[in-house]
Structure 1
Amino acid sequence: MVSHGILGSLLFTIFVIGKCSAVTSEFTNFLNGISNAQSLTPEQKLNIQNLRTDTNGQVHLYPDCKALNRFGNKPSGMYVIKPKNNSPVLVYCDMKTEDGGWILVQKVKKGNNLPFPTTWKQYENTFGDFNNNYWLGNIYLHQLTQEQRYDVKFVLQGGNETVNIDFDSFNIDGEDNNYALRLGAPLNDSDHHKQLLKNDNMMFSTEDMDNDRDSTKNCAKLYGGGWWFNDCTSVMFNSQHIVWMLIMNFQKQLLAFTVMILSAQSFTDAAATLMTYEGLKLKVANAAMVPQQKVNDIVNVKDLLLRKAKYAKDCNELLRQGFTTNGLYVIKPESTQKTPLIVVNCVMNYDCGGWTVLEHKSKQSELTWNETWTTYKYGFGNVLGDHYLGNEYIYFLTNQMWYKAKVLLGQADKNGELKWKHAEYDIFRVGSEMTNYTLHLGAFSGKIPDALSVPENMVDNCPFSTRDRDSDSDSVNCAQKYGGGWWFNTCPSATPFAMLTQKESIYWEPYCKDCTSVTFMVRSVNMHCYKRDMLSRI
């Protein structure tokens, strides 16, 4: 007797009575329900790697080969997987290529005498064997690639040469659109990728279903196999006549062709969040400033799942790319040296948008703010709330082009309603650590008085100070006196003239000594903002 149960979306568990040393009737009944496994011989069924029960008689089915590979070292071979929203399917998992976890889509060996199918129905289903000519089937390719994003690897082998052609996305439409092929961005630039991109967005064609763009010929009939044809001169591999139009010398030596796909994200929602967070920690310098449960709030989080992705250098560039949502983004500043990926909070709906937040602080913040030099160097807090981005990242950010800064100060009126006003500097730049992150400011404008470049508090061209590194011009350590790191000149009074990093209060003389909230942000100045484009302005 076979019973089925689903544990979340990660596992599909089968309870089977019997031993793995023989094909029991329970195994046979289960496999008979898998449409592409019915033709297996009893010997082949024994080779299905994950249909060998554990001591409790349980078989765990995972949604893809990558999930299988993540949960223990597995050999390459036949496995039954259970996509989240579809029936179980028999696949071949390649656990050796790169980090393993690849699903075999197709294999062709030149000179193999096995016949190739020619009809539409044949290509909808699995045919061949994993060691020779093999095709997973358009029905299963559609089901798999509709559930999640897959990378794809096309492998050409000939003589002593192997060529890998990788794209960051592989998707197959349903039969209603003739199983059209959708390729993502090439993971490296080469003429090989350009050749395959000619097949991008093409519908699948067979001898009895001509969907190619050649008006004079049926390409599938001409070459004796189904494929995503553009015209009859495009790449084609489902035939004894492997067609690779780019390099004729390579074509003559081409011995084998393989297509594999790798899920970009598998597991349950909780496990996927954990996997994404682990990837964030590996790739992003200030990942600790993002709570694990909020990792999927990063708007461009999918880029972290790509093996190669191009990141914007700031929020302004993201805005020009079409991102208009406030929130977290991963960026990569471009400076004179190699810079890391960092997570920042972008303000996209204020004053033309494209602002990168350097600091946000509320009154009576839970953070101490009286931190060490190293803590201020690399940042602290929750980038979704109160936080300081970090002087090293501010240096990377503000030295790639000209930036201006805006300080938004919120103060409650007598009725308790929060009123916002701003101060703006048309140049804002922070020097390297060798200069102690010296501050450089341009001309001031705004609806509140200047507090950073006035005789009472001239901090332009002043270095940064913390409680453990005194860089100011006073005889005492101003950062230690006031309880937070900042750009100080001197500190003669009991309270600071302007300081946005003290735990208890926010100071900006003479506008306020006790503001409720502050946001300190920058935007590149190579942007023309017209009144009709302004989304909101304070």
Structure 2
Amino acid sequence: MNIITQLVILTLSLLLVNADQYCDNLLKQYNTFKTKCSPDLITINSCSDLTGFTLSKAPSAVYQMTNCTCASPFNTVTADVYCDMNTTCGGWIVIQRNRKDSTVGFNKNWIQYEAGFGDLNQDFWYGLEAIHCLTQTGQWEMRVDYQKNDKTWSYLHYNQFSVGSASEEYPLTVGGFTGEGSDEFASNPLNGMKFSTTDNDNDKLSSLNCATNFKSGWWYNNCHYININRQPPQLVILTLSLLLVGANPLNHYTTRVSALINTCCDLRAYPPGRVQNGVYKMSMGTFNTATVYCDMTTDDGGWILIQRNRKNSQLSFNKNWKEYEDGFGDLNNDFWAGLKLMNTLTQTGQWEMRVDYQKNDKTWSYLHYNQFSVGSASEEYPLTIGGFTGEGTDYFTSHSLNGMKFSTLDNGNGKSRSSNYCAPTYKSGWWYNHCHHINTNQQPPQVNAHVLFTEMKIRPKDCITH
């Protein structure tokens, strides 16, 4: 069975068009859309792979993606994607680009929107089947960057994004709004809406076909508050009787999606050298994400850093309870990841913890524990730690820190002299007892004696089997 016949079988029940005409049109649209592959391009599974390279090695550009079934309706060896490596942490697959007075017409039929059209280096639509294929597994976020008529830029961001299958008519799932301005996708709610084109009307207006009226395919309701495919692209509209009239046309629109990791362990699936130590975005359940620093080199990698401090650090660790709950500092420098994050991560599964530290003689050592978790806010974040391995002495249990609640300058839980003696004395929050033999948050950090540098890191115990 050839590829064209397979495509007809998969799509005929939905499109209800002549098989030969459908395949000829689809092939023509795809060949027009697809850019030529360059042999010197890096081959990737998604744009997020490139976050392991330096920016000089991975600019925003067209790359070849090995999962080509997510880049076209055809099962070829590689297919092209445009990767945005500059916005936030990079790793975005650009799925649409449009601008005022674009020469690319977005007034296309169902087949064309399904297959994709345009030029990846100019204006384009990536294709519903490709977007569905990308977002059907894992959790994805979506971002819309737009330029207003006054030349200023803004953005919308959603922590949940996916597109359903062809048999469902590609319904949109979007939620978890952050960004600047209003949640335009929810204003005329587009969540759950099927895609509409001039020849396949799925909007909720019986009096007109929104796609025909606005000369563009989109997830229409009645009809839209946002439609980045129309000309000019649209963010806000006014309702006038049964017609929708543009009030704030935009000059340029780009939509991006990026894969999230569940833990830093996910990155170990890539070949050695493909990912580096650095900042990544991690899923924290429905509509929530966290930005974390992944250590991919120490002891087989997969570590989430929860603390970094050094002698003479410019970052003060003399913070109050709320600051220690939320976290503070710079993930690329010195920081505390936050008690809320530690509790959320370690409340399920089994976790191990490691402390790497540099002594005053510039040599390195480490502590390692096979059991680590942090309790809830209502319990005041008690520490559970055990199963010591590593070099030297078990400083956490030698001073009985296991089970101790966290203490800060405004919430003391220590047992020395008074409950609130240790944190103000050592100008840092910690799991104090009488008071400590180890405190990586004080200045300078201490592991029995003062040291030059400390990093605390955790990972799931089953990480090295991934």
User: TM-score, normalising length from structure 2?
Assistant: 0.55
**2:61 match:** 77
Count of aligned residue pairs for this structure pair? 341
Separation in 1, partners of 2:433, 2:379? 27
Letter in 2 for 1:116: F
Task: Note if contact 1:159-1:254 (Cα within 8 Å) is conserved in structure 2.
Answer: no
8 Å contact kept, 1:312–1:318: no
The 1:73/1:115 distance shift into structure 2, 3 A limit, reads same
Aligned to 2:94: 104
1:51-84 C-alpha deviation (Å, 9 max, x unpaired): 234xxxxx65211233246446244433321128
- In structure 1, the partner of 2:242 is none
Match of 1:259 in 2: 255
Q: Per-residue deviation at 1:124?
A: 0.4
1:277 offset after TM fit, Å? 6.8
Correspondence 1:122 to 2:112: yes
Q: Alpha-carbon deviations, 1:82-108, whole Å to 9, x = none?
A: 128754322223344445443221112
Segments of structure 1 that go 5 or more residues without pairing to the other structure are 1-33, 54-58, 299-306, 331-342, 372-378, 406-424, 440-460, 469-483, 486-538
Per the alignment, residue 269 of structure 2 pairs with 269
| Residue 293 (structure 1) shift | 5.4
> What is the Cα deviation at residue 226 of structure 1?
1.0
CA distance in 2, matches of 1:136, 1:465: 57
Among candidates 32, 53, 58, match of residue 39 of structure 1: 32
Q: Distance in 2 between matches of 1:316 and 1:76?
A: 34
Greater gyration radius: 1
SS of 2:424's equivalent in the other structure is helix
- Matched with 2:43 is 61
Contact 1:94 / 1:102 at 8 angstroms: preserved in 2? yes
Is residue 2:152 matched to residue 1:161?
Answer: yes
CA contact (8 A) 2:218 2:227 kept: yes
What is the match of residue 236 of structure 1?
Answer: 227
Matched, 1:345 2:373: yes
Q: CA contact under 8 A between 2:99 and 2:253: conserved in structure 1?
A: yes
CA displacement at 1:237 relative to structure 2: 2.1
CA distance in 2: counterparts of 1:164 and 1:227, whole angstroms: 19
Q: How does 1:351-366 map to 2 (within 5 A)?
A: 356-361=381-386
Q: Which amino acid aligns with 1:64?
A: S
Whichever residue aligns with residue 464 of structure 1, its letter is C
Cα distance in 1 for partners of 2:205, 2:400 equals 59
Q: Aligned in 2, Cα 1:177/1:115: closer, same or farther, shift over 3 Å?
A: same
Deviation digits for residues 165-192 of structure 1 (CA, Å, limit 9, x no counterpart): 1223322111122212222422336324
Instruction: Name the SS of the counterpart of 2:201 in structure 1.
Output: coil
Could you tell me which amino acid in structure 2 is paired with residue 201 of structure 1?
A: G
How far does the alpha carbon of each residue in 1:261-309 deviate from its partner, in whole angstroms, 9 at most, with x for none?
A: 2333586615599959744899779989x9765649x9xxxxxxxx9xx
CA contact (8 A) 1:95 1:101 kept: yes
Q: Which residue of 1 aligns with 2:435?
A: 464
Look up the equivalent residue of 1:198 and give its one-letter code. P
Contact 1:78 1:91 in 2 (8 A): yes
Secondary structure of the equivalent of 2:146?
strand
CA distance in 2, matches of 1:387, 1:283: 32
Change (3 A) 1:253 1:236: closer
Q: SS state of the match for residue 220, structure 1?
A: helix
Q: Which amino acid aligns with 1:228?
A: W
Residue equivalent to 1:508 = none
Task: Tell me which of the two structures has the higher relative contact order, counting C-alpha pairs closer than 8 angstroms and 6 or more residues apart.
Answer: 2
Cα distance in 2 between the residues matched to 1:315 and 1:65: 26
Bigger mean CA deviation after superposition, 248-257 or 77-86:
248-257
* Secondary structure, counterpart of 1:394 in structure 2: coil
Match in the other structure for 2:83:
93
**How far, CA to CA, are the matches of 1:388 and 1:85 in structure 2?**
53
Equivalent position of 2:327 in the other structure: none
Paired with 1:329 and 1:180, the residues of 2 have a C-alpha distance of: 41
Counterpart AA for 1:176: S
* 1:126 Cα deviation after fit: 1.5
Cα deviation, 1:114-169, whole Å, max 9, x if unaligned, reads 43233211110121224554100001111122244333221221232211112233
Say if 1:61 and 1:81, in contact at 8 Å, map to a contact too.
yes
Pairing of 1:216-227 with structure 2 (within 5 A): 216-227=207-218
Alpha-carbon distance in structure 1 between the residues aligned to 2:400 and 2:45: 38
Deviations 1:224-251 (A, max 9, x none): 2111122214321222253322699994
Separation in structure 2 between the aligned mates of residue 272 and residue 177 of structure 1, nearest angstrom: 39
C-alpha separation between the residues in 1 aligned to 2:385 and 2:219?
52
Corresponding residue for 1:10?
none
Alignment of 1:394 onto 2:365: no
Q: CA RMSD in A?
A: 5.5
| C-alpha contact (below 8 Å) 1:437/1:463 kept by paired residues | no
User: Are the aligned partners of 1:159 and 1:255 in contact in 2 as well (CA < 8 Å)?
Assistant: no
- Per-residue CA shift, 1:436-475, capped at 9, x if unaligned? 5999xxxxxxxxxxxxxxxxxxxxx98425499xxxxxxx
Structure 2: 5+ residue stretches without partners = 1-26, 240-244, 282-289, 307-330, 332-336, 354-370, 440-447, 450-466
Structure 2: distance between partners of 1:94 and 1:285: 20
Distance in 1, Cα, partners of 2:90 & 2:347:
37
Could you tell me how far apart the structure 2 residues matched to 1:387 and 1:193 are?
Answer: 53
> Which residue of structure 2 lines up, in the alignment, with residue 52 of structure 1?
39
Question: Which residue is equivalent to 1:146?
Answer: 136
